[in-house]
Structure 1
């Protein structure tokens, strides 16, 4: 019987045990106590058999290389120890070892059970781990997800090392080393050569997305990251691989440096030493230091020649000048060109524009070719300036900045790892549909290797800021243009001619004309007052946003970019780099600049109030109603001018006084909407001033990677309110603001 027990424990079928390892009840020669002892051995035998079969499938076809490595280790190392234990027990029985063989050569069954007692808990642990990697067929119907990821398995094994049972902890620690060694080999393929793992790439936290129309795009999936890898370390890992791919792409281009390949290979050999020094299981601090050393070595070597600081500053200057509207001439020229094309389209709409201006504006559409012509004419007008002859920033922007409908991808997809969790959250309120009355956005083609600094999401944020600033400037300009109609504001009709004005009919006609003009001036006084209040709010808001928020924030960011990191400065992960990595770098590495740039953008959009949905909604409504107010005001003034000319000439006119009254009524309705919007904007600013107190006054970057950059802190909402609190402007008892 002992022979049958040992064979059963080795995984062979035995008549002693049933299908599930239970002692066979037909064996009447066994006492109840013996059956109970056999049952524990039978369960161990059954678990061993199931485990071997289950591990065979996992080792052969699991999607994770980490899972395959752990399954293979359990099968070939740990279960082999169990087999050796069986052989050792058999040897002791055959040699009549007194530790197991008693008097009269009797081998107590309880002694056999005691010898395998420690394996009961171990075998159950192996089975739990195997089922965690892939559910058994008996349990698969209960859960659709049948396979775990390598990261989840590593985290699970790390938890098992803290159970409190020494034997379980030792087994889990050994398996953790196997799992993390497999994961480290996958990581080495990426950080040393910029390639995804040959096997198990679907289980790696970095993925390459490719399509027919677009080049490859590098994305990161944090779900596939083990818990001991911090966000900063993961960012550095991704950046290293991206940089290596950029270098390979650069070498393959015509005119690429052939020597860069040899430099990269030499760096790979040097970087492999940092990974080889790591002890298993991996320590978060040591892993972060090794990755930081590799990143800084790469950045201070070939990357400085591929992406010098001058190229980065050129891109930043372009964004500041044209997207953040430092160049006022660019904004004015673009608005003027857009107004020309919108006016040309409106002239062809005739009756619809007069009767239903709102519908007419909504029906306008602009083609991409027209947008391209508008930008071309804008650049042509700006190029005529004397100060742009040798302007490298202007030439850079002219080649890359485009105006197109949203969704038109005019740039190479960025490989910068700006996840949604690490990006600024901008309000979804659209300002890009005000310039051409259909959605448009300004964008810039980010080419390699500049896409190591700028992500697609960063470009979207710049486009949103630009549309916001341009919309405010445009509304301000349109209202200011009303003041150019001097006759509409200060018009005292003079006599037609001395001979006619001396007659009774002439004096009567002159009095009638002057009376009509006085009535018109009185009727439009509120409109002028509302327009003046709107101009004041827009001008002060634009001055606050552009002259204080953007200027001060940008100055601090560019000053930080230009400063080389000091020897005491830590890297992104908050861990000081090894001494062997030179700290006297000529410039900050691209990943640090990219992280600081994301922090800068997050703080900027918060300070510009673009993160507040209610505020942006009120401002958008104000700008839209200002458009209608200007259109209706111009329409009324043109109608009155036509009526006056026809009346002076004694001609019949197609317009009547009823048309004038209807136009005046529509204008008054638009004025009231603007009045209401002005109040709503100011009230929302006051609410924000109450909400943004203490720590909420500035953007909370939270766990965002900042690269050591500290955003500018200033320009609270209270400063804008101080400029807008000019008292209650009243006209005939009507409170405007």
Structure 2
């Protein structure tokens, strides 16, 4: 019977402990005593089978390591306990065999109570092991499986218990889980390589088709781009002790090592080995369970060491400033000539498409298919824009070649986008969410965005999501500039602004019919001037609003924020966070030999003892690429917020205003064409039998009144929204210059500078009581005060 019980505890099925046979073989007291052993035997066998399944087929390396830890260490300890009990019984130890000391009636008998007491505490452990296996097999994720990070966090939580034995087991398995996870991280941090097995459980993943990579015309960058991988960070696969900043550092380190491997900037292998050896020593200082602060310091130290020894050659500050200056001049409209040329070329393309459609026979027209702009035409518009920019540059022979313009020719593209969202939040967690207002639809009849290919190694700090934010800002600012230009171009139509015909020449001018003709022409011109007076007043108000808004957004916000960010880039810094570094040769001599033997990292890879890493240079005018990326995200967040691009209550009515301005401009051009046709019909006798210009004139005049009212109402709504936005921004200073608030924050980190509040824009938008029941005063050409008939009262 004893052998049957011990074999059953070892994992072999036994009919003695089964419920159906035990009733026949055992008495009720014996069954009650053996019930706990039966439960322990059942748990042991089940856990052994399930851990073998997890260790051999689970998708997570961490879970496999935990399963092997349960099976190898703790189930092995239980098996050794069974052997100890068996050995004690065979030797006749008094602990197990009764009556060995004084002899007597019970001599040689093994009490079941003692046997059951020998396995006290193991049932609670086995039940906890079963719980661990259940978590590994099911997990709590959406995919129905447990990730390594989830297992690490769960074990850390289970260590906080009132049972000393469960705490011991949880800490032991937590150490196994953290070590397995850290070994995966070491491959990424030391070599920039994803794990060969369990890659789907790793927190760094390859990007599958989310980033569009374009090749320049000469094809120079193609080989480099194809060999580099794009990665993204899965925060759900990170343990809780990894902070967001540390996670960003881990992603940066691995991406940087990929760039180093591709570029092969090192002349020999010794510096690389020294760098790996130094980083191994840093990782070997980690203790289990891993402390969040210590882990963050180690990763920050590795990141800064890598940046100072290698990445200074790969990504100098001058190259960073060059590409950021390109983005500021062409995406943020710092170079106004580019914006004007692009708008003019786009309008010219639309006009040519409409004219071509009008010239087709009616049976060949197929709706809007003849006027929809295609991808090739959009690219041609940008090419003509570059040509226009080059012609402006070529007028001054003494001017040096514009290298930034040539770089923009190679990198910047104008593309039709099919996505419905402005800027996805992916890979840009710290960036404020941009409103979904479709400003990109205003330049052409299709959604078009300005984009740029990110050359290597600039993608160390510049991500595709950052470029999408730049594209959104560009569409936003460009749409305002476009509406402003289209309105001001109306004043170039001189015949609409003033038409005072002179008397015809002799002898017809001296006749009665000639004088009558002149009076008719002047009467007609006055009537048209009265029709256009409200249009000019509305257009003047819209021009003033757009001009002041554009001056605030472009001059105060964009220029001020960029100036502060550029000053931070070019400022000299001699101290960076975590810059303190202990070289390899400064290792303490009195360190215990035991710690060296337990160093799992240095045991895995052995290096020559003569290799010593070079000391990092003092960073003058140099920024860590990850610090650049963090500062750049802060810069974009500050920029989009200050531009009110994250405020849908402002962007939506602004988009409505820009649409109505386009409608107003189109109506003005149409009524000008109608009046020219009516003049030809009345003065020259040129009649178009297929058109009814008088009816069209009445219709256009009514539409002008409606659209003018909408424009005025949209301006009123926007001014009201600006007032609400200004009131919501509590805590801002009432007034300050941009330079006073710019600079470095704590430990040299970038702190975005504040710009003037919106109330400065509101002060300029005071229309003299337009929206408070007042009226804009004016005078007609003859000096009469403007009244109802002059069109201003309608506003």
Structure 1 length-normalised TM: 0.89
Aligned to 1:376: 383
Moved more, 638-647 or 268-277: 638-647
Q: Match of 1:608?
A: 643
Structure 2 equivalent of residue 254 of structure 1: none
Q: 1:37 aligns with which of 27, 33, 53?
A: 33
Deviates more, 1:211-220 or 1:522-531: 211-220
Matched, 1:79 2:75: yes
**Please, which of 137, 141, 147 is the counterpart of residue 149 of structure 1?**
147
The 8 Å contact of residues 362 and 437 in structure 1, kept in 2 or not, is answered as: no
Query: Any idea what SS the aligned residue of 1:60 has?
Result: helix
Partner of 1:514: 522
> 2:262 is matched with which residue?
249
Residues 29-70 of structure 1: CA deviation (Å, up to 9, x unaligned): 52x332211101100111001111111111111111111111
Q: CA deviation at 1:96?
A: 2.7
Bigger shift: 611-620 or 387-396?
387-396
Residues 486/47 of structure 1: CA separation in 2 closer, same or farther (3 Å cut): same
Partner SS, residue 102 of structure 1: coil
Counterpart in 2 of 1:647?
Answer: 682
CA offset at residue 332 of structure 1?
1.1
* Cross-structure match for 1:528: 536
Counterpart Cα distance in 2 of 1:143 and 1:261: 43
Shift of 1:566: 4.1
- Worse-matched range after superposition: 86-95 or 537-546: 86-95
- Structure 1 CA distance for aligned equivalents of residues 686 and 32 of structure 2: 120
Q: Secondary structure at the match of 1:694?
A: coil
The residue aligned with 1:584 is 618
Structure 2 residue matching 1:314: 3-state secondary structure: helix
Please show how residues 129-528 of structure 1 align to structure 2 within 5 Å: 129-135=132-138, 146-210=144-208, 215=226, 216-251=229-264, 257=265, 259=267, 262-350=270-358, 364-384=371-391, 385=393, 386=396, 389-407=400-418, 419-528=427-536
Contact persistence 2:23–2:31 (CA under 8 A): no
Q: Provide the secondary structure at the position in 1 that maps to 2:135.
A: helix
* Between 98-107 and 687-696, the greater mean CA deviation after superposition: 687-696
| Residues 350 and 697 of structure 1: CA distance in aligned 2, closer, same or farther (over 3 Å) | farther
Residue 360 of structure 1 deviates from its aligned partner by: 8.7
Write the distance in 2 (CA, Å) between the matches of 1:624 and 1:539: 17
- CA 1:418/1:247 → structure 2, altered by over 3 Å: closer, same or farther? farther
Q: CA deviation at 1:307?
A: 1.0
Cα root mean square deviation, aligned? 3.0
1:673 deviates by 2.2
1:170/1:29 Cα in 2 relative to 1: closer, same or farther (>3 Å)? closer
Residue pair 1:548, 1:715 contacting (<8 A) in 2 also = yes
Counterpart CA distance in 2 for 1:321 and 1:29 is: 91
Q: CA deviation at 1:108?
A: 2.3
Distance in 1 separating the partners of 2:164 and 2:667: 84
Q: Is the 8 A contact 1:443 1:463 kept in 2?
A: yes
Given that 2:16 and 2:22 are in contact with CA atoms closer than 8 Å, whether structure 1 keeps it comes out as no
Given the superposition, is the C-alpha separation of residues 665 and 211 from structure 1 closer, same or farther in structure 2, using an over 3 Å criterion? closer
TM-score by length of 2: 0.83
Counterpart CA distance in 2 for 1:82 and 1:547 is: 75
Q: 1:455 to 1:696 in 2, by over 3 A?
A: farther
Given that 2:435 and 2:647 are in contact with CA atoms closer than 8 Å, whether structure 1 keeps it comes out as yes
Superposed displacement of residue 375, structure 1: 1.7
Tell me how many residue pairs correspond in the alignment. 701
- SS of residue paired to 2:23: coil
Task: Tell me, yes or no, if the aligned pair for 2:542 and 2:715 is still in contact at 8 Å.
Answer: yes
Distance 1:124 1:258, change over 3 A: same
User: SS state of the match for residue 502, structure 2?
Assistant: coil
Give SS of 1:448's match.
coil
For 1:93, which of 76, 79, 89 is the aligned residue?
89
Q: Conserved in 2, the CA contact under 8 Å of 1:596 and 1:707?
A: no
1:570 is aligned to 2:568: no
Q: Is the 8 A contact 1:189 1:197 kept in 2?
A: yes
1:661 is aligned to 698
Checking the alignment, whether the CA contact within 8 Å between 1:23 and 1:42 is kept in structure 2 is no
Displacement of 1:282 in angstroms is 1.2
Partner of 1:712: 753
SS in 2 for 1:558: helix
Aligned pair partner of 1:116 in 115, 119, 137:
119
The change in CA–CA distance for 1:201 and 1:523 in structure 2 (over 3 A counts) is same
1:14 and 2:20 aligned: no
How far apart are the structure 1 equivalents of 2:272 and 2:646?
Answer: 42
Pairwise CA distance, 1:614: 2.6
Q: Distance in 2 between matches of 1:480 and 1:74?
A: 78
1:333/1:378 contact within 8 Å kept:
yes
Distance verdict in 2 for CA 1:97–1:395, change over 3 Å? same
How far apart, CA to CA, are the structure 1 residues paired with 2:752 and 2:474?
Answer: 20
Deviation for aligned residue 1:537: 0.5
Q: Quote the Cα distance in structure 2 between the aligned partners of 1:260 and 1:727.
A: 73
| Equivalent in the alignment of 1:413 | none
SS in 1 for 2:206: strand
Pick aligned residue for 2:673 from 638, 642, 659: 638
Deviations 1:305-343 (A, max 9, x none): 111111111101101111111111111111122222222
Give the whole-Å Cα distance in 1 for the aligned partners of 2:489 and 2:254.
54
Offset at residue 724 of structure 1 (A): 0.8
1:5 matched residue in structure 2: 5
User: Is the Cα contact below 8 Å between 1:565 and 1:583 reproduced in 2?
Assistant: no
Q: SS where residue 260 of structure 2 aligns?
A: helix
Runs of 5+ consecutive residues of structure 1 not aligned to the other structure? 252-256, 354-358, 409-415, 699-704
Q: What is the CA distance between 1:682 and its match in structure 2?
A: 1.8
